[in-house]
Amino acid sequence: MTVTTERTDLYPSRGRTEVSVPRKDPVVWSAPGTAGPIAAPDLDSFERDGFLSIADLLGPDEVPAYQAELNRLISDPAIRADERSIVEPQSKEIRSVFEVHRISEVFARLVRDERVVGRARQILGSDVYVHQSRINVKPGFGASGFYWHSDFETWHAEDGMPNMRAVSVSIALTENHDTNGGLMIMPGSHKTFLGCAGETPRDNYKKSLQMQDAGTPSDEALTAFAAEHGIKLFTGRAGSATWFDCNAMHGSGDNITPFPRSNVFIVFNSVENASVEPFAAPVRRPEFIGARDFTPVR
Ligand code: 6CS
Ligand code: FE
């Protein structure tokens, strides 16, 4: 007799049709008044908007070391040859390097920095592990953007992340102008889960990390979301940061300016929300994209 362990999928996606359901999880998981680096009013605005900007997470004196490390990584032939490097479809320049917290001691230290991991623990109300880290280089002169999506929709469908108890921080390593393809988020969109239509192809990540297809919302859904929530563009100098909820609808445009828009993204997941089997994909993605080492960041 085969016992099939039925599991509840709170956030169905990648079926025949697009389906929208209300968020079933808290946004801020720590109890009100929990001590941490984020002041209560900022935690409230994160809960309401799904994001929180910090003008100088890293001081101007700290930024050059991260910029030097980013340049070292993207000019290292071994990194370019590594499967964790994704190149731009046209220019073949490096678009992203995943697992930077394992490749680089400089970025590993950034993950453990209390200003970073301390905020993640406070939002998620528990110890945390790194589900994914990457640098997005977006070098300019036509570097392509990232179409609208919810990260959680992908992490739930393809990496098996059960609940919305993860948070991303995007830290600018170069100036994020209003012209060079900055991050755009629809404020408040994190409170609705949009299950996308269309099955996940096997090995989807080989394409999706260059140009996402499965997990892409319809024009109708995006029109309704934008009408309800608006769109906010995030700008800031190198060292500024944007924390955003795993389910915030976000994207970024192409960068045709000469000014690179390079950021480091770190995704923290609660150790209470460790990934299981994919909810809507035939196979797991590689561990450098969806971590399977749930060791808490110390
Ligand atoms: O598929 C993913 O996990 C990645 N894709 C995007 C566009 N954002 C989240 C994440 O880095
Ligand atoms: Fe994303």
Where residue 5 falls among pLDDT bands split at 50, 70, 90? low
Is the alpha carbon torsion for 216, 220, 222, 228 positive or negative? negative
Q: What is the mean pLDDT of residues 235-257?
A: 97
Q: What is the mean pLDDT of residues 239-263?
A: 96
* 252 CA from centroid of ligand 2 (Å): 9
- Of all residues in the chain, the percent with pLDDT exceeding 90 is 86
Where residue 207 falls among pLDDT bands split at 50, 70, 90? confident
Look at ligand 1, atom 9, and give the residue with the nearest C-alpha: 151
Please tell me if the CB atom of residue 146 comes closer than 6 angstroms to any atom of ligand 1.
yes
Residue with token string 């994209």: 289
Which residue of 95, 154, 158, 208 sits with most ligand 1 atoms within 8 Å of its CB, as the best mutation to test the pocket?
154
User: Per residue, what are the HEC states of 256-294?
Assistant: CCCCCCCEEEEEEEEHHHCCCCCCCCCCCCCCCCCCCCC
Q: What is the mean pLDDT of residues 138-155?
A: 92
Q: Is 126 helix (H, G, I), strand (E, B) or coil?
A: coil
Q: What domains can you pick out in the chain, each with its CATH number?
A: 25-273 (2.60.120.620)
Look at ligand 1, atom 7, and give the residue with the nearest C-alpha: 146
For residue range 36-50, list pLDDT tens digits in order.
Answer: 999 999 999 999 999
The mean predicted confidence, pLDDT, of the chain is 95
Model's pTM, two decimal places? 0.96
Going by C-alpha positions, the residue among 29, 31, 53 that lies closest to residue 42 is: 53
Q: Is 202 helix (H, G, I), strand (E, B) or coil?
A: coil
Which residue of 132, 152, 170, 205 sits with most ligand 1 atoms within 8 Å of its CB, as the best mutation to test the pocket?
132
Among 3-7, 32-36, 222-226, top mean pLDDT goes to: 222-226
- Of all residues in the chain, the percent with pLDDT exceeding 70 is 98
For residue range 126-141, list pLDDT tens digits in order.
Answer: 999 999 999 998 888 8
**Integer Cα distance of 12 and 271 in angstroms:** 22
Residue 85: pLDDT over 80: yes
